[in-house]
Structure formats: C-alpha cells, structure tokens
Amino acid sequence: MCNLPSMEITALESPPMSGEYYRKQAARVRRLAQEASMPALREHLADVALQYEKLAEGAEAGYQDSE
C-alpha cells in the first residue's frame, strides 16, 4: 500500500499566481489522476487538485479585493 503525505494548505494570504493558472494546474492533476492505476495515488492527486482549486479561489478573491 502506498502512503502518500497529505498536502494541506493552511495559510496563504496572497497567492503569487492567477486563479486561471491554478485552475489549469487542477485540471492537469485531475487528468493525471484519471490515468493513475493505484487507488491511493488517484486519491492523493484528487486532493492535490482540490488544493489547486482553493488556491484559485484565493487568488480570485485577492484580485477582486484589490480592484
């Protein structure tokens, strides 16, 4: 069995990249998850994609706040 460390983003005030960038990365990681043969890896990659989505939301909220 594969034990992969959890990737948890606990605090990030101002993401350095745009929301679009993070959403593209989330989509890329989801494609990798679909191709993964190990269930643990698929689950881990799904978690990584979710973290990218959270970064995108933060980036987009930051852009809205700064306007």
What are the tens digits of pLDDT across the range 27-59? 999 999 999 999 999 999 999 999 999 999 988
Q: What is the pLDDT of residue 25?
A: 97
Number of domains in the chain: 1
Q: Is residue 10 part of a domain?
A: no
Cα 48 from Cα 43, distance rounded (Å): 9
Percentage of the chain modeled with pLDDT above 70? 70
Q: Give the structural domain span for 47.
A: 19-66
Is the model more confident about 60 or about 62?
60
Q: Is the pLDDT of residue 1 over 50?
A: no
Q: Is residue 31 part of a domain?
A: yes
Is the model more confident about 67 or about 28?
28
The pTM of this model reads: 0.71
Q: Is residue 32 part of a domain?
A: yes
